[in-house]
Structure 1
Amino acid sequence: MKRTIIQLLSMSRRTKQVSLLLLDLLILPILLWICYAIRLFDWNVEIIPGMILSWILISGLSVLSLLLMGAYHFIVRAFSELFITKLAFAVSLMVITLYLLAYMKLTSIPMSIPLMYGFFMFGWVWFSRALIRFIVQAMLRSKARKKRVAIYGAGLAGQQIAAVLLHSDEHIPLFFIDSKKTLQGQIIGGLKVYSVEEAFNRAFKKYAIDEILIALPSISRSRKNEIIKLLEPAHLKITELPDMTQLMDGEIKISDIREVDIIDLLGRDPIPPIEPLLTKNIQDKVVMVTGAGGSIGSELCRQIVKNQPKQLIIYELTEFALYSIDKELRLNSNCNIIPILGSVLEQGKLERVIEQYAVQTVYHAAAYKHVPLVECNPIAGLKNNALGTAFSVNAAVKKGVETFVLISTDKAVRPTNVMGASKRMAELYCQAMAKVQHQTQISIVRFGNVLGSSGSVVPLFKQQISKGGPITVTHPEVTRYFMTIPEASQLVIQAGALGTGGDVFLLDMGDAVRIQDLARQMVTLSGLQIREAGSTYGDIEIHYTGLRPGEKLYEELLIDQDDTEVTEHSRILRSFEKDFPLDELQPIFKSLEKIKATEQDINWALTQLECYVDGYRRSGQIQVN
């Protein structure tokens, strides 16, 4: 039987339509006979006595009315309200036609037959399609395990997605959850609306729910976070519909359902950017981004092209990274993009590029950022991060660039690692250069970790969860500040526009997040449970591996907590920090050019960091790489 149905389903669309048409032609005369039999209370009645031509005419007109209304164009398995409407119009047209034929005495149909025939015609077409749909779905899904879904939010979006899921081969919606008391207990679209308490007390268990779908596309991040924390004790997978700006066509589809992104939960509700700050250093200007293929650099490029630069120079050392961002920018913007393969350790090349394209604004994002790797390769890290910044700002000043913005990190504040110390040295050089010249406005923007960037814990945890764990965390109490990449990039651009020369800007990162809590929340969103130490209950373990060389438990954004001022942007602070004269720093940077990865040179370099970078003290054995 199942094989027969699959064969029928595999027929062409035209063949299926013709088959339904022939089926109607076969059944409609029987319906007409039933009408006469009911009228005369005689089951032996002859169909329209002596009027076989009228029998053929009425059947043909019935099928024609269905054709005219498009009833045969609907897919039976996608039965909908629109089909019922079209069918109602077809039947109404047929009833009116029969009354006209009877009135004009073109057939011998009694006036009591047309309306009765219309009811039977409507019932037959509706019932036959519903029966076919039921049989097909029952046969094809009898062995398929469908995800049993509870929908949080009984509003328009929830109702739309419920209607879509009812026709899905993979999901079945079973009830709504809503916090509005006026909706609780109501039946909407055939599904009952429960309160959160009722859902936990009986509905989740009663309906054996597999997944909770949040159908509230317009809520804020903070409200979404509250809802998820409310639903976490159910230990069910939580998915969501994207925000309204992503549902542009107004029709919700199954493909719109996505997993809740941890990035949405950790990021604050975005504050709209101050437009003049976004465009000040970009609109109608030639802009250059170093490290354009990295996580921050590439997002900076995406934000820059939205603000109509005259030209964008993307400067990157890695060929594939440059190729990727170049291709993406060209596909999504009409901006003139100039890709340049090069290192920030080539000051001569930087000068030539800036001069050739008359660059006006530089965002310096090129850096080595992975703490353990730089700790193992201290000279490479120092040269790229500190010396590369010095060469970049030297080239910008020499060639008359208007604005230079260094993207720095919270790891530069009282660093315990070479990576953070190298970024602080880069900051010191920019501060010193800003004091001896006033042609180029030099600013430093310092912020914490960006969610989803290369090397971030979020993609690492996702990968570990997909493999069944364990999740590796360095320490139970380790915390970090987090910000989304788009928000960080927009704030970098706005901070650069606030600069007056030598400014150190700090981005408001919100509250620090405990990495252990981040891991636990990601496991919960996957519908899994943490397996605590010493327990056999749960799905995913957390292994604590210990702090890595140079790693801190807590990060800071300020060296001096008291020496700051608020800017015109609520999430950007200006800090006033200790600096050194340029003529004191230049000999050290000159020596950095010449040193190699020998034990003696590394000792010298780390000694300079201890001298100039507040809080830095070398840790462990020197790595000679």
Structure 2
Amino acid sequence: MVNDLVVWLLARNRRTKQLTMMVADSFIVIFAAWLAFSIRLSSIHEPNFPQLVMILAGPVIAIPLFYGFGLYRSLIRYVGEHAIWSAFKAVGLTALLWGVLAFMIRAYGVEGLPRSVLVLFWLLTLIMVISSRFLARWFLLLQTDSPRPQRHIIIYGAGEAARQISASLKSDNPRLSVLHVVEDPNLQGSLMGGDAVYLADDVTELIKRYDIKDAIVTLRTASNIKRVKVVETLRKQGVKVRILPAFADIADGKHAVNMIREVEIGDLLGREMVTPDKQLMAANTSGKVVMVTGGGGTIGSELCRQAASLGAAKLVLMETSEFALYQVINELGLQAEMEIVPVLGSVNDSSLVRRVIREHKVQTVFHAAAYKHVTLVQANSFEGVRNNALGTLSVASAVYDTDAEVLVLISTDKAVCPSSVMGASKRIAELIVQDFAARAKLDKPEKTFCAVRFGNVIGSSGSVIPLFRRQIRNGGPLTITHPQATRYFMSIEEAAQLVIQAGSIARPENQTQENRGNIFILDMGEPVRIMDMAVKLIELSNLTVCDEDNPDGDIAIKEIGLRPGEKLHEVLLESVEPPHPTIHPKISVALEPPPEQLDLEQLYRDLDSVIAAQDHDRLMDLLASVTARNRQVEPAKS
């Protein structure tokens, strides 16, 4: 019968349920008032007429206040800690107004309410109102929830964030059991919000004992290396791991405060980001007119975001893709109040580049426009060289001939001992920047020309990570060129910040005799095997690798061989002389002067004529002759 009543009540509309709660609260207030008199007088009290008026006036005062404080807006099955505070305020004000009414009655010479009854009434009403809601919640869940086994989840950490996540999870699923795992022995055996706290050393046993399938890592202030170790330990036990975003990411609006995100491949690279130097970040951006070529690309758009956050006076974006340009200016328009100038055009249009720099009084140019996909550029060699090499010549010439102060070229590790058209074209771009840097030192020492060389950024359009993700969504297989192939990786945000700081280090006032040079190398950490990255991505997707050891796995990995122009391993340094350190621990200078006996002016003319004639053989010979001069020495290991 009781179960039928519960089912009937659950089927009613919200107003009916609220009225039911109001009726119940009215009886609670009346009973609490009568009980307060009985306790005060130490007997079962029979109220006189003034006291009966006071008792019956209780609900008249209380119910509107309860409604105003939101006690009828919360659903009983989801009632939580917030209800206690709301009830505390509502009942407190009710008791106060009840006392005022008693004082008014007493003013007319009618003895209605002993003072101690007022305190008893407040305390009893508060206890009964709060208890009624939690008892109703327990009974409701007991009657309506179908029996099912209790599920366990690990929360790695015992801070405030861990406590809030635990409370939120259990409010959604009361049958969920949370196990907190910590590394502090002093917390072992304690309780946190009713949840048991265990040592990290016991995590393997806990996973087996409770058949745990999910874990949340809340180590937001720990180092990335520490998080990597924790995530790897849990993942190897077959547990699906999620990670709480860092405080900085929440403050920047990248994640909602209550968001628990999936573990990303970047969390497992084991790289520690160095806090950016504020002075270096601001030197070429804050209060400056900044131009970014290739502003709609992966690195270009991140450079735009960084420049906007650093308070650039104006941001000029040059991009050939209309859609990419539209996307980035709309994004920037929402987060920055600065003037944003979209320029739809190519860096090969030298007159356009010069006009834009002069018209907007550009001071800093980040040259990120380039074709970077090795196989596509290999198949479209003329356009690749035109865009990457001659496009750089166009931008460098414009910076040299105008009032612009700084040019920073975004280069690549594929420019070192290049084996592809893309790598060779970017190496020529570096030589062009070195050429103009040498000219500027003689004739225009106030100008800065430099190149910043680094490897792959995670998630970029030409990176292997988006390809692997698409292949996983399609059921595989994941295609790798070679089981031993390695690449350098870093996050897009870190790469952009280091590029901006390298450009500031290159300024004349920051150059030293030991620090001379125009090609800066970013510390990319250790190279990562592409095979290992493929396996990690499969496992992070809660799938298994299909191979000889596990023929029933979900996703296979297929070797397709190195494609034209691709290397097995990349290096970051050309010279046998090790790079010189700079004032930034992640940035060094490569002392790589242009090859001797290389006539750069003649090279520019030859490239222009070869591309105009569409002479493929001659282009290959020209690229080979230039890159051969770069192989007079063995490349140094970076």
If the length of structure 2 is used for normalisation, what is the TM-score?
A: 0.84
Structure 1's 27 and 95: CA in aligned 2 closer, same or farther, altered over 3 A? closer
**Partner Cα separation in structure 2 for residue 497 and residue 89 of structure 1:** 57
CA shift for structure 1 position 288: 1.4
Partners of 1:173 and 1:98 lie apart in 2 by 45
| Secondary structure of the structure 1 residue equivalent to 2:423 | helix
Query: Structure 1 residue 395: deviation in Å?
Result: 2.0
Q: Is the 8 A contact 1:153 1:215 kept in 2?
A: yes
Question: Does the alignment pair 1:64 with 2:64?
Answer: no
Q: In 2, distance between residues paired with 1:484 and 1:478?
A: 20
Which whole-Å deviations, capped at 9, do the CAs of 1:324-377 have from their partners, x for residues lacking one? 111222221122211111101111211221222222221111000011111111
State yes or no: 1:535 paired with 2:550: yes
**Which 5+ residue runs of structure 1 have no aligned equivalent?**
618-625
Which letter maps to 2:71? Y
Deviates more, 1:85-94 or 1:180-189: 85-94
Does the 8 Å CA contact 1:386/1:422 hold for their aligned counterparts? yes
The equivalent position to 1:609 in structure 2, one of 608, 615, 623, is 623
Kindly provide the amino acid, as one letter, of the partner of residue 490 in structure 2. Answer: M
Give the counterpart letter for 1:609 in structure 2: L
Q: Could you tell me which residue of structure 2 aligns to residue 566 of structure 1?
A: 581
Asked if the contact 1:178/1:195 (under 8 Å) is kept, the reply is yes
CA distance in structure 1 between the partners assigned to 2:92 and 2:345 by the alignment = 75
Unaligned runs of 5+ in 2: 509-515, 632-638
Aligned to 1:191: 195
Determine whether 1:222 maps to 2:221: no
Residue 508 (structure 1) aligned with residue 523 (structure 2): yes
Contact kept, 8 Å, 2:290 with 2:364, in 1: the verdict is yes
* Deviation at residue 4 of structure 1 after TM alignment: 4.2
Q: After superposition, where does 1:124-203 map in structure 2 within 5 Å?
A: 124-137=128-141, 142=146, 148-168=152-172, 172-201=176-205, 203=206
Q: Does 1:436 find its partner at 2:439? A: yes
Q: Encode CA deviations 1:130-159: one digit per residue, 9 max, x unaligned.
A: 243235545776499997421000122211
Q: Distance in 1 between matches of 2:406 and 2:41?
A: 96
Do the aligned residues in 2 keep the contact of 1:141 with 1:169 (CA within 8 Å)? no
**CA–CA separation in structure 1 for the residues paired with 2:252 and 2:406:** 41
Secondary structure, in 3 states, of the residue corresponding to 1:550? coil
2:374 aligned with 1:374, yes or no? no
Match of 1:385 among 385, 388, 391: 388
8 Å contact kept, 2:9–2:17: no
How does 1:380-459 map onto structure 2 within 5 Å?
380-437=383-440, 438-439=443-444, 440-459=447-466
CA RMSD between the two structures: 3.8
Shift in alpha-carbon separation, 1:95–1:356, aligned structure 2, 3 A: closer
Aligned-partner SS, 1:367 = coil
Matched, 1:330 2:333: yes
8 Å Cα contact 1:151/1:173 also seen in 2? no
How far 1:468 moved relative to its partner? 4.1
The match for 2:216 among 213, 218, 238 is 213
Contact 2:36-2:120 at 8 Å conserved across structures: yes
Q: 1:233-244 residue pairs with structure 2 within 5 A?
A: 233-244=236-247
CA distance in 2, matches of 1:391, 1:94: 78
Provide the secondary structure at the position in 1 that maps to 2:14. coil
User: Offset of 1:119 from its aligned partner?
Assistant: 7.0
Q: Counterpart of 2:230 in 1: which secondary structure?
A: helix
Aligned 1:338-357 pairs, distance under 5 A: 338-357=341-360
Name the stretch that deviates more: 376-385 or 536-545.
Answer: 536-545
Q: What is the identity, as a one-letter code, of the residue corresponding to 1:425?
A: I
Q: Which amino acid is the alignment partner of residue 423 of structure 1?
A: K
Aligned residues of 1:152 and 1:215 also touching (Cα < 8 A): yes
- Matched pairs, number: 607
The residue that corresponds to 2:601 in the other structure is: 586
Name the CA distance, whole Å, in 2 between partners of 1:146 and 1:597: 72
Matched residue type, 2:202: E
In the alignment, the residues of structure 2 paired with residue 53 and residue 538 of structure 1 have an alpha-carbon distance, to the nearest angstrom, of 80
User: Which range moves more in the overlay, 74-83 or 602-611?
Assistant: 74-83
User: 1:317: how far off?
Assistant: 0.6
- CA–CA separation in structure 1 for the residues paired with 2:122 and 2:438: 91
Tell me the distance in 1 between the aligned counterparts of 2:9 and 2:566: 63
Q: 1:576 aligns with which of 591, 595, 607?
A: 591
The answer on whether the counterparts of 1:442 and 1:502 sit within 8 Å (CA) in structure 2 is no
Change in CA separation of 1:199 and 1:391 when aligned onto 2, cut-off 3 Å: same
Q: Secondary structure at the match of 1:521?
A: helix
| Separation of aligned partners in 2, 1:249 and 1:190 | 33
Q: Could you say which residue in structure 2 is the equivalent of 1:555?
A: 570
Matched residue of 1:355: which SS? helix
Aligned 8 A contact 2:414 2:423 in 1: yes
The alpha-carbon deviation at position 544 of structure 1 amounts to 2.3
For 2:480, the equivalent position in structure 1 comes to 473
| Whole-Å separation in 2 of the counterparts to 1:601 and 1:249 | 51
Q: Structure 1's 21 and 551: CA in aligned 2 closer, same or farther, altered over 3 A?
A: same
| Structure 1 residue 496: Cα displacement | 1.6
- Name the structure 2 match of 1:83: 83
Matched, 1:524 2:551: no
Structure 2: how far apart are the matches of 1:6 and 1:48? 38
Give how far 1:474 is off. Answer: 2.1
Shift of 1:224: 0.9
Amino acid at match of 2:280: L
Q: 1:278 to 1:56 in 2, by over 3 A?
A: same
Q: Distance in 2 between matches of 1:249 and 1:388?
A: 35
- For 2:136, the aligned partner's letter is I
- 1:171 offset after TM fit, Å? 9.2
- The change in CA–CA distance for 1:513 and 1:101 in structure 2 (over 3 A counts) is same
CA deviations 1:24-67 (Å, max 9, x no partner) are 3346556778899999999xx8x837x57744641431562465
Partner of 2:511: none
In the other structure, the counterpart of 2:21 is: 20
